[in-house]
Amino acid sequence: MKMYDTLVLGAGPCGIRSAIVLKEAGLDIAVIEGYTPGGKINIAPRVDNYPGFTKIPGPDLAMEFFNWLNKANVEMIPDIITSLTKDNDIFTVTCENGSYQAKTVIIATGTKERELGLPNEKELFGKGVSYCAVCDGHFFKDQDILIIGGGNTALKEAIYMADIAHHVYLIHRRNEFRGNNYLVDELKALPNTTILTPYVPVSILGEDKVTGAVIENRETGEQKTLHVQGVFPLVGQIPNSQFIKIDGVTNEWGNIPVDPKTKQTSVEGLYAGGDILPRDIRQIYLSEVDGKMACKAILEYLKK
Ligand SMILES: Cc1cc2nc3c(=O)[nH]c(=O)nc-3n(C[C@H](O)[C@H](O)[C@H](O)COP(=O)(O)OP(=O)(O)OC[C@H]3O[C@@H](n4cnc5c(N)ncnc54)[C@H](O)[C@@H]3O)c2cc1C
């Protein structure tokens, strides 16, 4: 089995930045990516605050990142990671189609959208329930849809969907939003949107496809039915860390605590960065900074 200096897990902003820095430093490395290079930016309707771009559609920025990775001649392994173990100072990364070994590893696999946990949410996934407006939005052209959540992701996806759908409802369990005020104002100014607070979803209606959703006012207990054909739960993320089979790396929520300076985890030679860390703000540049800091530490570690 081939032994790398470093394996980078995930080709989002953290993984791509890390891979380029390590490759330029002359290390023997590869990036393993199971889905779409560029990571979460691929599903961002637009990126508002990446230096150099005032506003850019997420998929376009993801393509810039991917081109940058290709130009650096970084080896890409397109595969889904199923386990990460460590034996005698060597890490083994097992994927669906092969296994690889490395002296050091950077975990940059980010997060995925949290499910609401409603009874028929799973059954109606792909039949009106979606976690990504950029991926599935066009299926809801001129239809009525419901977005659930109060963060920037929910607000941005609601603004994006207002351009496509007939009407967009957004419900949030609190009266105050976690997301930025300017996005709330932008959404409120759109003619075909309705914001309802403090509401929570009670059930998603439909058998073969979504036909509506029942929501409940948390203050009054009043329930109402929204006749929508699409439901987008955007209520937070869970870390993509289930494949880690080394004790003590993740915390109780599955995030990976790291040393703030080196980004090393509780295990020597194992580093992590980006959205998978326990943090309140998740941004592209933060993910890249994590990657850069981990690379510096890896170069020092490998010298030893
Ligand atoms: C709608 C939306 C809007 C956003 N807007 C902005 C914005 O305006 N500005 C901003 O700075 N940030 C924005 N963000 C946040 C930004 O996209 C993330 O902070 C950033 O992408 C995190 O980078 P990352 O490298 O940590 O993880 P990710 O980008 O999530 O990349 C992780 C990669 O790992 C891969 N992966 C995961 N598990 C496995 C596995 N088992 N096997 C193989 N590969 C795996 C994934 O496919 C993915 O490519 C937005 C996010 C969303 C969802």
Domain ranges of the chain: 3-113+237-303, 133-233
The pLDDT-based confidence of 189 (bands split at 50, 70, 90) is: very high
What's the gap in Å between 85 CA and the centre of ligand 1?
24
> Cα of 38 to ligand 1 centre, how many Å?
7
pLDDT for 44: 86
- Ligand 1 centroid, distance to 302 Cα (angstroms): 28
Cβ neighbours of residue 109 under 8 Å, at least 6 residues apart?
A: 9, 10, 12, 15, 81, 239, 240, 241, 243, 276
Query: Does domain 3-113+237-303 match CATH 3.50.50.60?
Result: yes
Ligand 1, residues at Cβ distance < 6 Å = 10-15, 32-35, 39-41, 43-44, 47-50, 80-81, 108-110, 153, 156-157, 240, 243, 274-275, 282-285, 287
> What span, in angstroms and rounded, lies between the C-alpha atoms of 174 and 155?
14
Q: What is the pLDDT of residues 192-218, one digit of tens each?
A: 999 999 999 999 999 999 999 999 999
Of ligand 1's listed atoms, the one at least distance from the Cα of 274 is: 26
CATH of region 133-233, choose from 1.10.357.10, 3.20.20.70, 3.50.50.60, 2.120.10.30: 3.50.50.60
Neighbouring-strand partners of residue 10: none
Least confident of 78-82, 159-163, 278-282: 278-282
**Would you state the pLDDT for residue 48?**
82
pLDDT of 97 reads: 97
pLDDT for the residue 143: 97
State pLDDT tens for residues 84-125. Answer: 999 999 999 999 999 999 999 999 999 999 999 998 999 999
Structure confidence by residue, pLDDT tens digits, 227-244: 999 999 999 899 999 999
Instruction: Pick 268 or 54 by higher pLDDT.
Output: 268
Across all residues in the chain, what is the average pLDDT?
95
Ligand 1, atom nearest to 41 Cα: 17
Res. 287 pLDDT band, cuts 50 70 90:
very high
Q: How far is the CA of 3 from the centre of ligand 1 (A)?
A: 27
Same CATH fold assignment for domains 3-113+237-303 and 133-233:
yes
55 pLDDT above the threshold of 90: no
In the predicted model, is pLDDT for residue 282 greater than 90? Answer: no
Report CA(34)–ligand 1 centroid distance (Å). 13
Name the DSSP class of 175.
S
The residue whose CA is least distant from atom 47 of ligand 1 is 35
Residue 77 pLDDT more than 90? yes
Give the closest residue (by CA) to ligand 1 atom 52. Answer: 44
Alpha carbons 26 and 107: distance in angstroms, whole number: 20
